[in-house]
Structure 1
Amino acid sequence: METKRDDWVRYFRAENQPIEAMHAYFRTHRYHPHSHDTYSFGVTERGVQAFRCRGAERASVSGMVIAFNPDDPHDGHAGDAPGFVYRIVHVGPAFVARIFGDALQGGSRQGLPLFRDPVFSDARAEQALSRMFACLFDGGTELERDERLADAILALSQRAGVTRELRTVRESSAARVARAVRAELEDRFASDIDLEALAQSVGCSRYAMYRAFVARYGMAPSDYQRQCRLRAARRLLREGGSLAQAAVQSGFADQSHLTRWFARYFGITPGMYRRSGER
């Protein structure tokens, strides 16, 4: 456990599966706007957790469930002075898609399910998630962990909407620009690139490029590039790299710069993340 003033965090990371979880109390910490490349399912245990997601202000109080789709931009902070306690699990899309495919279409449905609401009340889902968190943080076996995770995902299945691959919506020119900018940022995340060069790479003006990207992904290109760097640093740390190596190879100026932004995006330090694998 590590503290920031009176905030505290516990972190779980599976070594052989795309599963990570956090149990935290935050009174002072504020998340910088970000998204995950995973599904994220959480339960607020105490207090009020406030955040902005999908263009609206949200609040999760005790017993409510949070469900973020991959790439859902959001922030987060205490909704009142006492702060809040919550648990959240991040699960790889392939794992979630497989469980939902079994639940929704007898194994025949393909694609990634999308959750309609980022926060909601559902007693069955909340109880299933709480049982899963107890297993993750209190020493359950790997078999118990997988069973309870599957049970939690199945309990959430009624909240799933259309699948991402099956939607038939024509992509606009602005969406194509945003997607091209995203690909450029992901390819060159560790390099310095200015707004003009980025706009030229996708063949439009700086203003049109910036507006299209923010509309599609809910954050500025600079924030997305930093997020790519942080995801790369997480991967390097999972693979056993040092903090100094992760900072340099992911494009940060130094280790302190990585540490500062890592905590603002993920709520923990990179050192704690590196030590959070199963023991």
Structure 2
Amino acid sequence: MNKKAAQISVQAWESDGILLEKYAYTSGSVEPLLRHSHEEYQFGLSFNCQGEYHYRGVYYSIPTGSLSVIHSGEVHAPSDRTFLTAPAHFAMMHVKPTWLHMIAAEMAEKPASLPFFSTAFFTDAKLNHLFLALQAAAAQENSKLQYDAALWDFLSYLIRRYASNSPTVRALKSTRSAITLACDYLHAHYTSDISLDTLAAIAGLSRFHFCRVFRKELGVSCSAYQTQLRIAQAKKLLVQGFSITKVAIETGFYDQSHFGWHFKRHVGVAPGAYVSKTAIIS
């Protein structure tokens, strides 16, 4: 009897040399991929199945929940399994070396070598959290600031924690005045699609050090701070009787669904449950 082929669905997002993917396989027969290499670094996180790689002359079994890494330019082959007994779901990231080179240089505050990872996978809950936050920021079409911050958080943590040639990072110094300038800008433009580049330039810091200092001074990321400002204004508008759709637009959210998701996370209830006024201002 012929084995039924697995059904495969893929979601993908691409921006400026970074490709993010989410794969979903049903059970069934699959065709192993050929050995290959690519310019990009490749990272993968399996949600519910063990990963497998032939890499650097070694067979690696990647535990579920571990982030795999394939270095730029290295020949590798994925699993040679021909049948999946259960559904498999995993996320992938392909990123050009220029991104890691640039982040390493900002961390060191001088030219730095390309990060090198000597192992094939990392088991680290925080690293996984940062990777998934990046995937979510891309998939939900959140603000540019949220995507930018998630990207820098993930790659800088990865390099600092796991690169064998990780650059030395200087100790944090108080830069409250610089962060105040960035906060003032966020308060004045919280509905705008602000980039990390813009805020870092206003603060007079590199993007890497801006992210570190902002979180140290305020306890949250710059993107979370922007979202808090939006939610605070949204609550005021809802109380005044504005419709949920109008509030979402007026406070800079992508759409009503995006607004509702963030509102419930910050307030604990959906926007519709926040007030019970019947008079709606159009």
Aligned length: 156
| Residues 66-102 of structure 1: CA deviation (Å, up to 9, x unaligned) | 1121012111137663253111111111111111223
Q: Distance in 2 between matches of 1:91 and 1:68?
A: 11
The answer for the alignment partner of 1:43 in structure 2 is 45
Residues 31 and 142 of structure 1: is their aligned pair in 2 closer, same or farther, counting only changes over 3 Å?
farther
Name segments (4+ residues, structure 1) moved above 6 Å. none
| Residues 165-184 of structure 1: CA deviation (Å, up to 9, x unaligned) | xxxxxxxxxxxxxxxxxxxx
Residues 84 and 100 of structure 1: is their aligned pair in 2 closer, same or farther, counting only changes over 3 Å?
farther
Q: Distance in 1 between matches of 2:80 and 2:45?
A: 14
What SS class does the counterpart of residue 57 from structure 1 fall into?
strand
| Per-residue deviation, 1:21 | 1.2
Q: Are 2:101 and 1:97 equivalent residues in the alignment?
A: yes
Write the letter of the residue equivalent to 1:11: A
The answer for the alignment partner of 1:19 in structure 2 is 18
Task: Compute the TM-score of the two structures, normalised by the length of structure 2.
Answer: 0.51
| Per-residue deviation, 1:62 | 2.2
Q: Distance in 1 between matches of 2:80 and 2:127?
A: 23
After superposition, residues 194-209 of structure 1 pair within 5 angstroms as: none
After superposition, residues 152-191 of structure 1 pair within 5 angstroms as: 152-157=154-159, 158-162=161-165
Write the letter of the residue equivalent to 1:67: V
- Greater strand share, 1 or 2? 1
The answer for the alignment partner of 1:126 in structure 2 is 128
Contact residue 66 and residue 128 of structure 2 kept, 8 A: yes
Residues 69 and 36 of structure 1: is their aligned pair in 2 closer, same or farther, counting only changes over 3 Å?
same
Contact residue 104 and residue 113 of structure 2 kept, 8 A: no
What SS class does the counterpart of residue 86 from structure 2 fall into?
coil
| Residues 5-63 of structure 1: CA deviation (Å, up to 9, x unaligned) | 4222111112xx11111110245242211112011222111111211111111122321
Residues 11 and 134 of structure 1: is their aligned pair in 2 closer, same or farther, counting only changes over 3 Å?
same
Contact residue 54 and residue 60 of structure 2 kept, 8 A: yes
Residues 55 and 72 of structure 1: is their aligned pair in 2 closer, same or farther, counting only changes over 3 Å?
same
Q: Distance in 1 between matches of 2:95 and 2:129?
A: 18
Q: Distance in 2 between matches of 1:75 and 1:92?
A: 19
After superposition, residues 1-279 of structure 1 pair within 5 angstroms as: 5-14=6-15, 17-26=16-25, 28-77=30-79, 81-103=85-107, 105=108, 107-157=109-159, 158-162=161-165
Q: Distance in 2 between matches of 1:96 and 1:47?
A: 28
Write the letter of the residue equivalent to 1:84: A
Contact residue 66 and residue 120 of structure 1 kept, 8 A: yes
Q: Distance in 1 between matches of 2:105 and 2:31?
A: 37
Contact residue 43 and residue 69 of structure 2 kept, 8 A: yes
Identity across the alignment (%): 19
Unpaired runs of 5+ residues, structure 2, are 167-282
Unpaired runs of 5+ residues, structure 1, are 164-279
Task: Compute the TM-score of the two structures, normalised by the length of structure 1.
Answer: 0.52
| Per-residue deviation, 1:141 | 2.3
